[in-house]
Copies of this chain bind each other. A is one copy, B any other.
């Protein structure tokens, strides 16, 4: 087992290509991490997730601590064995989910007390407990427990929240048990305020983490503000550590994030869209419930290697969604994750060949061009 580190292999403008080395194997970056909230990437077997080219998946502290319970997962051999994913797993800290509970949670300086969305039972998360839970889950990458205010919010609110998150980051670091090949990432907060983001970066790099995440974006501020925040924040981060943009996003968001120096992404979009008949493709999105697909013998996307495209027509997918058949979400999730992974591979190759700008222009033109006529 070797150390956890990110090796830069190429750069093109601010964009970087590299490899993340972990206790559970290497991951090529930039990378998109499918979300496995409750120990499963929804509607996919672990084999199917692997077949899309995914190298690392996400788990959720909040969901797993409530069901089946962190100690249960530990007793069952950890999250890797539990969900049949021997590769790297990143777990989020539960902070974002707990904040989303609204009236069901109570924040203090020490942590958060909240009621389970499942049965109303009382629970508490602190930086220490979140870190301990992620250890019990055997997360390859542990995230700091942070607070994330919804935008828009006053600068004072954002500043106070960021500073609380920085104190919690120090406590999370203190609670983290270093293990060979494992990592803990700090999370930059500060909304869309450049000075607050810079203060947050200083606090986190002062503590020192194996990687840095940009949190508190994609929460309603819009793509332009998200990108301008990245433009000023990412250059402040250490160049030799992996950078992770949390909860993002559309294919265009991923491309823009990579162009601004981000290496890792996660988002429920491709999986959630897969369950609601929305396909991501090289030529934009398709709603497979739309009647125009009812007799269409073409695959979702020519050349896509996923089973939805190599085995079936749009007409069949349309039928499955109209008939509420489970196979619809299964096949379309498979397709969407395959598209996201192929998108990231293409971007990575373009970086290594120093042609990211041209590649990005081609991608955006194709997305804007829409579905080619039959």
Q: Which A residues fall within an 8 A CB radius of B?
A: 38-40, 42-47, 63, 67-68, 72, 75-77, 82-84, 294-295, 297, 307, 311-313, 315-316, 318-320, 322-323, 325-327, 329-331
- Point out the residues of chain B lying under 8 angstroms from A311, CB to CB: 45-47, 84
Q: A45-B307, A83-B316 are in contact. Are A295 and B75 (CB under 8 A)?
A: yes
Q: Contact: B313 with A40, CB < 8 Å?
A: no
Q: Contact: A45 with B331, CB < 8 Å?
A: yes
- Given A39-B316, A43-B326, A330-B330, 11 more pairs with CB closer than 8 A: A39-B319, A42-B325, A45-B311, A45-B327, A45-B330, A68-B315, A68-B319, A76-B313, A82-B313, A82-B315, A84-B311
Within the complex, the shortest CB–CB distance from A308 to chain B, in Å, comes to 9
Quick one: which of B82, B315, B320, B330 contacts A72, CB cutoff 8 A?
B315
8 contacting pairs across A/B (C-beta < 8 A): A38-B325, A43-B326, A45-B311, A67-B322, A76-B313, A76-B316, A82-B313, A84-B312
Q: Contact: A327 with B42, CB < 8 Å?
A: yes
A307 to B46, CA, bound (A): 10
Oligomer: number of copies: 2
Report which residue of A63, A84, A323, A327 has the largest number of chain B beta carbons within 10 angstroms of its beta carbon.
A327
Within the complex, the shortest CB–CB distance from A326 to chain B, in Å, comes to 4
A46 to B330, CA, bound (A): 12
Q: Contact: B326 with A67, CB < 8 Å?
A: no
Q: A45-B331, A82-B316, A330-B43 are in contact. Are A323 and B72 (CB under 8 A)?
A: no
Q: Contact: B326 with A294, CB < 8 Å?
A: no
Q: Contact: B40 with A297, CB < 8 Å?
A: no
A106 to B82, CA, bound (A): 53
Q: Contact: B82 with A326, CB < 8 Å?
A: no
Within the complex, the shortest CB–CB distance from A114 to chain B, in Å, comes to 18
Quick one: which of B72, B295, B319 contacts A67, CB cutoff 8 A?
B319
Q: Contact: A329 with B326, CB < 8 Å?
A: yes
Q: A68-B294, A312-B84 are in contact. Are A42 and B319 (CB under 8 A)?
A: no
A77 to B82, CA, bound (A): 42
- Point out the residues of chain B lying under 8 angstroms from A331, CB to CB: 45
A84 to B67, CA, bound (A): 37
